Amino acid sequence: MSRWRDEKASIFGDNSEMNLFLAVLMPFLGAVLVALASRRGRAFAAWCTGGVALLSLFLLLPAMAASFDGTTTIQRLTWIPAAGLDLAFRLDGLGLLFALLILGIGLLVILYAHYYLSAEDSLGRLYAYLLLFMGSMLGVVLSENLIQLLIFWELTSLSSFLLIAYWRKREAARRGARLALTITGAGGLALLAGFLLLGEMVGSYDLSVVLASGDIIRAHPLYVPTLVLILLGAFTKSAQFPFHFWLPHAMAAPTPVSAYLHSATMVKAGVFLLARLFPALSGTPEWTWLVGGVGVATLLVGAVVALFKHDLKGLLAYSTISHLGLITALFGIGTPLAAVAGVFHIINHAIFKAGLFMAAGIIDHECGTRDMRRINGMWHYMPHTAVLAMVASAAMAGVPLLNGFLSKEMFFAEAHAAAADWRVGIFLPAAVTVAGIFAVAYSLRFIHDVFFNGEPIDLPKTPHEPPRWMKVPVEIIVVLCVLVGIFPAQTVEPLLAVAASAVLQGPLPEHNLALWHGFNPALWMSVIALIGGVLLYLGRKPLFVLHDRLSGRLDARAIYEHGLRTIIDFARRVLMRLEAIGLQHQAAVLILAALILGSAGMLGAASPLTGSRSLLPVDGVSLLAVLTLIGATLAVTVLHRQRLTALIIVGAVGLIVALAFIKFSAPDLALTQLSVEVVTIVLLLLALYFLPPETPAESSKSRRWRDGTLAVLAGGGAAALAWAVLTRPANSIAGWFLDNSVTGGGGTNVVNVILVDFRGFDTFGEITVLAIAALGIFALLENLRLIAPRRDVAGRRWDSDVHPLIMATFARLLLPLALLVSVFIFVRGHNLPGGGFIAGLITAIALIMQYLANGVTWTHARLPAHTHPWIAAGLVIALLTGVASWLFGRPFLTSAFGHPSLPLIGELPLASAMAFDLGVYLVVVGATLLILINLGMAHSVSHEDEHAKEGPWKP
Amino acid sequence: MSDHPAHLVILPVLAPFVAAVLLLALRDLPMAARRWIATLSVLVQIAIAVALLMTVAGGEILVYRLGDWPAPWGIVLVADRLAAWLMLTTTLLALFAVIYAGDGTDRQGRHFHVLFQMQLFGIAMAFLTGDLFNLFVAFEILLIASYGLLLHGGGPARVRGGLHYVILNLIGSTLFLFAAGLIYASLGTLNMADIARQAATVAPENLGLARAGGLLLFAVFALKAALLPLFLWLPGAYANTTAPVAALFAIMTKVGAYALLRADTLLFGPDSGALAGLYEAWRLPLALATLAAGMIGALAAPNLARMAAWLVIASVGLLLTAFSADTAGIAAGLYYLPHSTFAAALLFLLAEAFKRRRPVSADFFRSERDMPRHALWGGLFFFAAVAATGLPPLSGFLAKFMILRAASDAPAIIWVAILLAALVGTVALARAGSALFFSTRTVESLPPGAPALLVDQHPGEAADPPTGPRELTAILGLVGLILALTLAAGPAANFADTIALQLSAPELYIHAVLGGSEE
């Protein structure tokens, strides 16, 4: 670890402390910039994009230079230390290699894309997305913190989603994008789980710690689940069998995207992870079998399928899958030398495959199709491009003198060497040789079908050489292929050495990058692959027939889409069921839940149901009242369809409850109950008018049984709980209220003192509830057009004598008396039964009487219809009473009281709480009137047409 | 004893109340003036919330004795870190909801701003009260104000959704009374700190009643939080109401979640003797089931508003899953709470923005021609989708990461459920975005069978021309909140940790309210 370098001690000084962070951040900022700059022309956008990539590269240079000395640069920014998640960046040899690939190939792709996209496609959007991706990918390879790595990992999936769906109006693009996002997203989630487990094992998400803790990790009981989860992430991203199928569908993206993301960089993220975590996870049989097995399977599947693809990009996609399998297999073999070969092949494949995709893009661009059955004989139309493509595909086939040959040869050698240890005998070398044969065959097919094989068939466009600068990126790549292929030691060796030693986190094994290693098994395997590949291609016809017959049998995407459709259909069915559940069922569920929870609570303890309190004797009156109550409740249930009758019985229930309050010495409650009853009945009568007088029986018999059972159980439960409560001795804070009512609250009526003083804040809230209810109902009624029936149940017209003389006269006479009563009730409230709430209700009832008796028009002339100001005034008074205590340095709603003596009246008990009670009074009056008047006005509107002529009764 | 203003604790409650009364008294002012009052009021509330948060951040628990009556007899308001954190979340959310409402929603019916402020009044009271019955009162205020807001603008779909909402919640209120009665009967008090203290020494013969009361409370809170199976009132109510109301209601389920958390850590917390851990057996299974149900609904939802409503349900599931995982889980959940609230609100506002710009399909997932400023709305949707599914790099991911981390010792089912839910969310929102933004057409015709789906929509609004800058301000404001929560994840997560720490020591709360005096 001594080689790790604290950035503070860097020779580049303090100003470079954040350069890794900035290098990653730059493309994200650039994306925004380019999206805005693209209005100023395509070339400008391209220059901006390229400039951003160059800037990132520049920012990385110091750390890159350092990494060649074997120094690992680590830079940190604090983010969420509590969760072990800091922004920590790391550049070592492996990061260096990938950063170079990402930025280098990125620059080529930026240049290429400028020529590739047609004028009607937004170049700015493509560049912005590409930069998003570039930043994300740089983040993946330069992360020191695993969770941060995952964040960038998922960002590559998201930017890939946007890029695949670039041509958003194409169905294939949208589906391909979603498919890729789902598969790689799922992998990302597995990876997150894997990283979390890894972090739990070693106590840190820092790569430095993880890489140094290989022994702890491998010995941990959770090693296998961790490994599997991480591999799921790597395999989905790197399109390993059986998750490979998203990659061919990602080819719906514009070709620069395919070249960049889906062959050179993003799909390498999976193998990057294998390389990155190689010291921590490898070296166990599980690793070898899983990674090696999947790698070889992918290698074979990809190579075989590639041969049969008629789509140019389809062939390249499967070839990419196959090569990714090759790299995976190398890491799976697990020897240091194999890891070196894996890193080498990452470089080589990225280079030649990017070139091939670009060449394919040129051909597609010029021909208007990618179908190799139609694109033939391009040699005559674009010889320059043909040479470039042929060199690159020869590299793909592993032809000597090109870079692909070198790493493939190393792969063959490693496969051969591993065969002995792996106890798989001849299988491994045989499998890789077969894959090699297919690789040669499909490379040959690419060359032969496209550039020779007669004349083109029915092309949409007449092909010709592309613009000069479109070929430049391909030329650069091809030159690299040749240079590396012929002079590996002079070109790629230093980079490979530093990258591979970063992978191994230790000394590099003896390896020799050279063209000629003598006649060894690897060479023979190469020869077999080359000759076999040519033969296979020559004899391809029967194989194609066979393939056509078998194709479609096992389409992974079809399986995936079928699965997804099944899930979504299931979800839709569930949703339809759920949303169709009516109110009654929901209420039943709620009551059932309460029943279950309540029972669980009661039965979960060994408490007896009946308490220790001795029972009072039953007197006749109480018994009668209770029986009446039960009878009335049953009657309401039975008669609930006849609404008016039911309403009257409900009134009876309310009256008996009021009697019960009196019996238990709660006259306040009784008074409140009585006045609430009156208001409720008026309200319900007004509402019932608009409803059909009878409800049809809608419930099925089974449902009635269900509801009945539930009701009996819930009611029984409630009764049992009430019984349990009432039979227990009261042991509560209630005594304190009795003791303090007079001394502390200045009133002898404890209920009132509790309401306006001890718990005045509750009342403060409850009058607000009343006010809100009134306002809400007012707002609701204003939007409502109610259609009222003109006749009653029996078909009779409603009585036209709406304001009978006697009633009107008495109502007017009663008004002052009623108001006086309410004042009386209000004033005595603090000491005797009464109070603002009851007084308010009495006032409201008295006023409502005027409406009932005299009609709306008459009353309106004398009373405001909108009682908003009363409500507001009530709330303000309540508020001010509360706030006033602040003046005395006391908390909200602190009361004061005194007994001032006034002339004539004598001693008057006054408490500040009475002002509060006045607020209560006003809100109650205002709210009750607002509700009832407006509901009543809905009435007068509804039968206006009938009574308009008559007008109200006039004395 | 401390240098905070003496009445700071009650200010979050009184500020919206004053605004509401003022708006009611001045209801004849021009709408522009009323909007200013409403917005200014929310700004003041944010300032108060910030002041409160800074005051309690150090660990002090402020107790405000209403009427100057000592606890447990009088009502107390209690401001601890949890309450302050939730107040800040609520007021920030409210700011952008009220700004958005100024875009014309507030003209669709009467008293919008009054009801809106009353709603905030109720929420503040619920978060700050230290008294069980006062919590009931707060729930009543919430319920009645939210019912008024839900119906704002009218229309049959709203009335239907609102009816389910109000009836179920009235049953819930009744159950709350039962529960409060049982707790009072068995423990003899309603002060929450005192309940916790009495619970520690509850007599065996009263244990059953106390347990029944506590579990009935669970039912009430679960209903408020929209926990399975008591969640069906939510989609119809939220998806059909106006956008700013739905956005504000993103915090409403959190009130239920808050109550569950408070009950769990205080009333039936570790020191509550035989009543400790009363909810343990119920919470996690129901939370996971809710998460699953929410994701199923989101996957199947035909339009964005409905999807957002189902995601609200799922987020409650995730939140309570987090709360089930010890102190670290509570901390992670408390970081997740504001995120999920803002993300849900953002989705509701975006759904409305799309409705306005897609005259035929509204926010249904079917193709229509490009919206005006397609790229902008697409970008905003992408952001919201990333936030809502908890994909990196936004706070949703960070929260998910913290929750998973906290649950690493818990049964593996939690991990599986959370990760699967994230996957389903990704699929659902990718499909939604794909339909809304990628698959656009130039034709304006309606595909056959489409109108049936559109019946519940309110045709009046679709024709409205895209409106002023408030819409975008509100949306960008929520985007900014999520970004801030992401960038400041360190301090935010730290604070969430300190909240959880405080909750894990209920004796601090009890001591602050009741003092050292032994009853």
Measured in angstroms, the CA of A820 and the nearest CA of chain B are apart by 28
Determine the residue of chain B that is closest to A870 in CA distance.
B25
DSSP H or E run through B151: helix B132-151
The average pLDDT across A785-808 equals: 69
Determine the average pLDDT of the residues in A939-944. Answer: 59
Q: Do B137 and A200 touch (CB under 8 A)?
A: no
Which is nearest to B21 in space by CA: A338, A907, A874, A134?
A874
Instruction: Specify the long-range contacts of residues A569-577, CB closer than 8 Å, at least 24 apart.
Output: A570/B296, A571/B296, A571/B297, A571/B299, A571/B300, A572/B300, A574/B296, A574/B297, A574/B300, A575/B296, A575/B297, A575/B300, A575/B301
| The residue type at B389 | T
Alpha carbon distances (Å) from B3 to A883, A934, B54, B84: 20, 50, 12, 17
Tell me, what DSSP letter sits at residue A9?
G
- pLDDT band, residue B368 (cuts 50/70/90): confident
Best to test chain A binding among B8, B24, B501 (most A CBs inside 10 Å): B24
Instruction: Tell me if chain B has a CB within 8 Å of the CB of A615.
Output: no
pLDDT at residue B517 greater than cutoff 60: no
The total number of residues shown for chain A amounts to 955
Chain B CB within 8 Å of residue A580 CB: no
- Predicted local confidence at residue A939, as pLDDT: 67
pLDDT at A934: 81
CB proximity A77 to B under 8 Å = no
Quick check: A193 and B111 CB within 8 A? no
Q: Judge residue A606's burial from the number of C-beta atoms within 10 Å of its C-beta, 0-12 exposed, 13-18 middle, 19 or more buried.
A: exposed
Cβ burial, residue A795 (10 Å; 0-12/13-18/19+): exposed
Average confidence (pLDDT) over B354-359: 87
CA distance linking residue A466 with residue A476, whole number of Å: 16
ipTM entry: 0.90
Evaluated on CA atoms A576, A582, A583, A587, the torsion sign reads negative
DSSP state of B130: -
Cβ contacts (< 8 Å) between A611 and chain B: which residues?
A: 205
Q: What is the pLDDT of residues B15-48, one digit of tens each?
A: 999 999 999 998 888 888 999 999 999 999 999 9
Residue for token pair 């106590």: A203
The pLDDT of A913-933, averaged and rounded, is 88
The shortest CB-CB distance from B75 to any of A728, A762, A889 is to A762
Tell me which chain B residue has its CA closest to the CA of residue A873.
B25
**A762/B137 touch (CB, cutoff 8 Å), yes or no:** yes
Task: For chain A, give percent helix, strand, coil, nearest 5.
Answer: 75, 5, 25
Q: Which of A125, A165, A571 sits opposite B299 (nearest CB)?
A: A571
A562 close to A179: Cβ distance less than 8 angstroms: no
Judged by CB atoms closer than 8 Å, whether chains meet at B423 and A154 is answered as: no
- A34 in contact with B, Cβ within 8 Å: no
* Contact between residue B115 and residue B23 where contact means Cβ atoms under 8 Å apart: no
Shortest CA distance from B389: residue in chain A: A185
Which percentage of chain B shows pLDDT scores above 90? 65
Q: Which residues of A touch B7 (CB under 8 A)?
A: 886, 891-892
Cβ–Cβ below 8 Å for B216 and A601: yes
- Which residues of chain B make contact with A191, given a CB cutoff of 8 A? none
User: Does the beta carbon of A193 lie under 8 angstroms from any beta carbon of chain B?
Assistant: yes
**Mean pLDDT for the stretch of residues B319-336:** 93
In the structure encoding, which two tokens stand for residue A441, read together? 């065959």
* Chain A (801-860) residues lying within 8 Å, Cβ to Cβ, of chain B: none
**Which residues, 6+ apart, have CB-to-CB distance to B210 below 8 Å?**
A601, B182, B183, B186, B187, B199, B202, B275
**H helices within A165-276, ranges in order?**
171-202, 207-212, 214-219, 223-237, 246-249, 255-259, 268-276
A178 touches B: beta carbon within 8 Å: yes
Q: Render pLDDT for A483-510 as a digit per residue (tens, 0 to 9).
A: 999 998 888 898 999 999 999 988 888 8
In A108-137, the residues whose Cβ lies within 8 Å of chain B are 125
Per-residue confidence band for A805, with pLDDT thresholds at 50, 70 and 90:
confident
Instruction: Answer whether A545 touches B (CB < 8 Å).
Output: no
pTM score: 0.92
Chain A: give the shortest CA distance to residue B152, in Å.
8
Residue to mutate among B205, B228, B386, with most A CBs inside 10 A, is B205
Mutate to test the interface with B, among A761, A763, A767, A890 (most CBs of B within 10 A): A761
Q: What is the pLDDT of residue A790?
A: 66
Name the E strands within A509-564.
none
Q: What share of chain B is helix, strand, coil (3-state, %, to 5)?
A: 75, 5, 25
Amino acid letter for position B111: H
Give the integer Cα–Cα distance in Å for B348 and B354: 10
> How many CB atoms lie under 10 A from the CB of residue A48?
21
Q: Residue B461's pLDDT is what?
A: 38
A414 at the B interface (CB within 8 A)?
no
Q: Is A872 on the interface with B (CB under 8 A)?
A: yes
For residue A943, pLDDT over 70 is answered with no
- Chain B interface disruption, residue of A76, A184, A733, most B CBs within 10 A: A733
Q: What's the token pair of residue B246?
A: 């739905």
Residue B153: which region, alpha, beta or left (left: phi > 0; alpha: psi -120 to 50)?
Answer: left
At B131-184, the pLDDT tens digits run: 999 999 999 999 999 998 988 887 788 888 888 899 999 999 999 999 999 999
Q: What are phi and psi of A791, to 5 degrees?
A: -130, 155
pLDDT for the residue numbered A610: 85
CA angle A530, A535, A541 (to 5 degrees): 135
Q: Are residues A575 and B296, on separate chains, in Cβ contact within 8 Å?
A: yes
Beta bridge partners of B129: B77
Contact between A758 and B401 using a beta-carbon 8 Å cutoff: no
Residue type, A134: M
Can you tell me the distance from the alpha carbon of A523 to that of A813, in angstroms, rounded to the nearest whole number? 120
B35 vs chain A: nearest CA distance in angstroms? Answer: 18
Query: CA nearest A163 in B: which residue?
Result: B438
Q: Compute φ and ψ for B226, nearest 5 degrees.
A: 65, 50
Work out the minimum CA distance from B219 to partner chain A, whole angstroms: 6
Q: How far is A831 from chain B (nearest CA, A)?
A: 19
Residue A141: band (very low, low, confident or very high) from pLDDT cuts 50, 70, 90? very high
Nearest CB to B134; choose among A740, A762, A775: A762
Locus of tokens 């040129």: A362
Say how many CA atoms lie within 13 Å of A382 toward its Cβ. Answer: 28
Distance between CA atoms of residues B85 and B77, nearest Å: 15
CB-CB contact of A395 with A348 (8 Å): yes
Residue A525: how many CA atoms within 13 Å on its side-chain side? 28
B92: distance to nearest CA of chain A, Å?
Answer: 23
Roughly how many angstroms between the first and final C-alpha of chain A, as a whole number?
107
- Check whether B361 has a pLDDT greater than 60: yes
Residues in B closer than 8 angstroms to A889, CB to CB, are: 6
pLDDT score of B38? 94
B368: buried, middle or exposed (CB in 10 Å: 19+, 13-18, 0-12)? Answer: buried
Interface of B with A in 374-433 (CB under 8 A): 375, 382, 386, 391-393, 397-398, 401-402, 404-405, 408, 415, 419, 422-423, 426-427, 430-431
Task: Give the mean model confidence (pLDDT) for residues A758-778.
Answer: 90
DSSP string, A466-490: --HHHHHHHHHHHHHHHHHHH-HHH
Interface touch B140/A769, C-beta < 8 Å: yes
Per-residue pLDDT band for A936 (boundaries 50, 70, 90) equals confident
Q: How far apart are CA A664 and CA A674, in angstroms?
A: 15
Query: Best residue in B66, B121, B416 to probe A by mutation, most A CBs within 10 Å?
Result: B66
Cβ distance A601 to B115 less than 8 Å, yes or no, reads: no
Model confidence band, residue A788 (pLDDT cutoffs 50, 70, 90):
low
Within 455-484 of B, beta carbons closer than 8 Å to A belong to none
pLDDT band at residue B55 under the 50/70/90 scheme: very high
Q: How far is CA A165 from the centre of its chain?
A: 21
On chain A, the residues whose CB falls within 8 A of the CB of B10 are 891-892
Note whether A594 contacts B109, CB cutoff 8 Å: no
Pairs of residues, one from chain A and one from chain B, whose beta carbons lie less than 8 Å apart:
346
Q: What percent of chain A has pLDDT over 70?
A: 92
Closest CB to B67: pick one of A612, A728, A893: A893
- Give the DSSP H/E element, type plus range, for residue A910: strand A910-911
Q: What would the mean pLDDT of B473-480 be, rounded to a whole number?
A: 95
Between helix B412-433 and helix B395-406 the angle, nearest 10°, is 160
Residue B21 near residue A880 (C-beta atoms within 8 A): no
Residue of B nearest to A889 (CA): B6
Which DSSP category does A292 fall into?
A: I
Residue A297: other Cβ atoms inside 10 A: 18
**Separation of alpha carbons B186 and B350, rounded Å:** 49
Lowest mean pLDDT among A5-14, A872-881, B320-329: A5-14
Calculate the alpha carbon distances from A59 to A17, A49, A132, A780 in Å.
11, 15, 17, 63
Chain A residue closest to B386 (CA)? A158
Is A12 or B14 the better-scoring residue by pLDDT? B14
